[in-house]
Amino acid sequence: MQFLADNFDLLWDAFLTTLSLSLLAGLLALVLGTLLAAARVSPIPPLRGLASFYVETFRNTPLTVVFFFLIFGLPQIDFILGFYTGAVLSLGLYTAAFVCEAVRSGINSVSTGQAEASRAIGLTFGQSLREVVLPQAFRTVVPPLGNVFIAMVKNSSIAAGFATSELSSLLPRLVNADAGQLTAVLLGVVIAYMIITLPLAFGVHRLERRVAILR
């Protein structure tokens, strides 16, 4: 434990990196994912096709490969991202596909009468989506969406393989420590992840109960 206290700064920095990585990527994923979901139900066929192409591609690509393309591939078209920016983008773009799926299932769960009524009072597609359907859809997908973000926090560990010093990267970095010390680090890392994910899970649960629609 003394070792952990001595290396507290290291752990704290790594924790903050994981946290900021998750926050930025989460924001990107939420915005992009919602736009994609809107595109997937839109009246414009090419937009629908494009969005489902995006989702299918990212769903079938390992996140490691996404990191690979963004960090080692993009420089080939003279587009150089830093490791941290690359990590945020990879994580955000990847998660957006799953946010889209979650939001879309929410849109499908809103009863058809709502959409029909909003059309009947003359709302356009954009208006009925913004004012009527999406607010209800988001309420129903709070739990799955929350799970997607929890998974994203844990997925941010892949950045360890790409020179971002976040939580998981501490293990290979401190590998020369002795058995007890390394075990302490492992414990610290596990607890640090739980400090992010458990309150998130709890918050999602609270939010779910607050906004749930009783049908």
Site for another protein in 19-78 (CB under 8 A): 41-47, 50, 56-57, 59-65, 68-69, 72-73, 76-78
122 touches another protein (CB under 8 A)? no
- Whose Cβ is closer to another protein: residue 87's or residue 152's? 152
From the list 9-17, 82-90, 108-116, the region that binds another protein by CB under 8 A is 108-116
Window 134 to 163, contacts with another protein (CB under 8 A): 143-144, 147-148, 150-158, 160-161
Q: How far apart are CA 8 and CA 21, in angstroms?
A: 20
What tokens does 142 get? Answer: 């709070």
**Shortest CA distance to 200 belongs to which of 151, 160, 135?**
151
Q: Which string of DSSP letters, residue by residue, matches 12-31? A: HHHHHHHHHHHHHHHHHHHH
Q: Please report how close the Cβ of residue 134 comes to another protein at its closest, in angstroms.
A: 11
CA dihedral over 52, 98, 100, 90, signed as positive or negative = negative
Give the helix ranges, DSSP H, for 41-173.
45-59, 63-68, 83-109, 112-120, 125-127, 134-140, 142-155, 170-173
**Shortest CA distance to 156 belongs to which of 144, 168, 147, 171?**
168
- Whose Cβ is closer to another protein: residue 82's or residue 205's? 205
Considering only 112, 121, 210, 214, the residue that binds another protein (CB under 8 A) is 112
Considering only 1, 16, 27, 194, the residue that binds another protein (CB under 8 A) is 194
Considering only 5, 121, 179, 214, the residue that binds another protein (CB under 8 A) is 179
What tokens does 133 get? Answer: 């359907």
Considering only 3, 83, 125, 138, the residue that binds another protein (CB under 8 A) is 125
**Shortest CA distance to 161 belongs to which of 60, 83, 94?**
83
- Whose Cβ is closer to another protein: residue 139's or residue 154's? 154
From the list 5-13, 80-88, 183-191, the region that binds another protein by CB under 8 A is 183-191
Angstrom distances, CA of residue 151 to CA of 103, 131, 142, 148, 189: 16, 29, 14, 5, 16
Q: Please report how close the Cβ of residue 197 comes to another protein at its closest, in angstroms.
A: 4
